[in-house]
Amino acid sequence: MAVVSVQGQDLVVEMEGLDKLWALKSRLTIPLENVRGATVDPGIVGEPKGIRAPGTHLPKVITAGTFHHEGEKVFWAVRDAQKAVVVELADENYTRLVVEVDDPRAVVAMVEKATRR
Question: Does 54 sit behind a cis peptide bond, omega within 30 degrees of 0 on the bond before it?
Answer: yes
Task: Provide the domain count of the chain.
Answer: 1
The more confidently predicted of residues 24 and 14 is: 14
> Which helix (H) or strand (E) element contains residue 65?
strand 62-69
The more confidently predicted of residues 24 and 3 is: 3
**DSSP string of 37-49?**
EEEE-GGGGGS--
Note the pLDDT tens digit of each residue in 31-65: 999 999 999 999 988 888 999 888 888 888 899 99
Domain, as residue range, for 65 = 2-115
**What pLDDT score was predicted for residue 59?**
83
Looking up residue 73, the CATH number of its domain turns out to be 2.30.29
